[in-house]
């Protein structure tokens, strides 16, 4: 198992915050991290529930308030909570009645805070921690020193003399834990194809209805060509035969699933009249 530097942040949040929400793309190790923390803190103190279990999902969907009220008097780890954002208001009520640090540990493969069905943001009661794909230091099992060296005006160094080949291999293989452990590039690519197919067929449809689910895979590939560039949504939509408003909605869905991240301009003109 790869070490995750976010583990310390989660532990700190659990020590003083009633609800901690670990969010990030599917297959980045959120469930693994949660179960590791449960074992370290004492598994008997925790009850683990996943909403990927259809029976649990249907029970919670039928009666969100009753579902939360009838949970055991232990700490609760609730996996894939983005599937039922209506639970957030019930969690808020439970926390207000008993404000115990680390009472709920949630995970989500979509940013539930951006979902239109979210009934309450749990402001002041919840801390969010992002768990993205593995960093190079996590893959190598080393502590990061790049930024500290820069701040100390030291030149970062590497023990590898084949830096170019290493970077190219990392770009092709990616940094998800599973494909990193596969024996060949072909097997890694097979994993990514299945991953994207699952996202389109299930996760995106869980979030909202879209008229052209078949175009989501093509859109994701197109966004790769815009990495580090200005994005013109009208131009992007034109390549797929979609109007600007539709492509804006689809890009927002990809952001909710942590597949793309749109960066704002480094500088904005605050004097510009609206």
The segment with the largest mean pLDDT, out of 82-86, 126-130, 135-139, 262-266, is 126-130
**So what's the pLDDT on residue 274?**
45
- Alpha carbon 108 to chain centroid distance? 6
The segment with the largest mean pLDDT, out of 54-63, 137-146, 193-202, is 54-63
Report DSSP state, residue 182.
S
The segment with the largest mean pLDDT, out of 14-18, 162-166, 182-186, is 14-18
Percentage, residues of the chain above pLDDT 90:
49
pTM, full prediction: 0.85
pLDDT tens-digit map of 52-89: 999 999 999 999 999 999 999 999 999 999 889 889 99
What confidence tier does 270 reach under pLDDT thresholds 50, 70, 90?
low
Q: 128 versus 268: which is more confidently predicted?
A: 128
* Structural domains of the chain sorted by starting position, each given as residue range(s) with its CATH number in brackets: 6-130 (3.40.50.300), 135-174 (no CATH)
Mean pLDDT calculated for residue range 200-208? 79
Q: Judge contact between 250 and 242, C-beta under 8 A.
A: yes
Q: Is the pLDDT of residue 161 over 70?
A: no
What confidence tier does 50 reach under pLDDT thresholds 50, 70, 90?
very high
Which of 19-28, 72-81, 112-121, 201-210 has the weakest average pLDDT?
112-121
Phi first, then psi, for residue 250 (nearest 5°) are -70, -35
Which of 46-55, 70-79, 107-116 has the weakest average pLDDT?
107-116
Mean pLDDT calculated for residue range 134-145? 87
230, 235, 241, 243 alpha-carbon torsion, rounded to 10°: 90
Contacts of 244 (CB under 8 A, 6+ apart): 233, 234, 237
**Interstrand relation of 75-79 and 126-130 (parallel, antiparallel or unpaired):** unpaired
């Amino acid at each position: 198992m790869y070490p995750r530097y976010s583990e310390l942040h989660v532990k700190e949040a659990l020590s003083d915050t009633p609800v901690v929400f670990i969010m990030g793309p599917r297959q980045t190790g959120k469930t693994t991290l949660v179960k590791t923390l449960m074992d370290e803190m004492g598994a008997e103190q925790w009850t683990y529930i996943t909403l990927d279990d259809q029976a649990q999902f249907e029970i919670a969907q039928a009666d969100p308030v009753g579902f939360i009220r009838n949970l055991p008097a232990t700490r609760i780890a609730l996996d894939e909570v983005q599937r039922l954002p209506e639970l957030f208001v019930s969690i808020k009520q439970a926390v207000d009645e008993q404000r115990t640090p680390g009472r709920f540990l949630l995970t989500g493969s979509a940013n539930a805070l951006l979902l239109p069905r979210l009934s309450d943001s749990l402001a002041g009661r919840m801390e969010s921690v992002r768990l993205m794909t593995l960093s190079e230091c996590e893959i190598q099992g080393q502590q990061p020193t790049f930024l500290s060296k820069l701040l100390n005006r030291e030149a970062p160094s590497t023990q590898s003399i084949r830096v170019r080949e290493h970077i190219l291999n990392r770009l092709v293989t990616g940094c998800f834990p599973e494909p990193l452990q596969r024996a060949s590039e072909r097997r890694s690519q097979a994993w990514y194809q299945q991953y994207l197919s699952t996202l389109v067929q299930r996760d995106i449809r869980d979030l909202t209805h879209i008229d052209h689910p078949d175009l989501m895979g093509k859109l994701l590939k197109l966004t790769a060509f815009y990495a580090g560039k200005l994005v013109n949504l009208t131009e992007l939509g034109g390549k797929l035969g979609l109007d600007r408003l539709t492509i804006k909605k689809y890009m927002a869905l990809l952001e909710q699933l942590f597949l793309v991240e749109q960066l704002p301009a480094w500088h904005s003109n605050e004097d510009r009249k609206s």
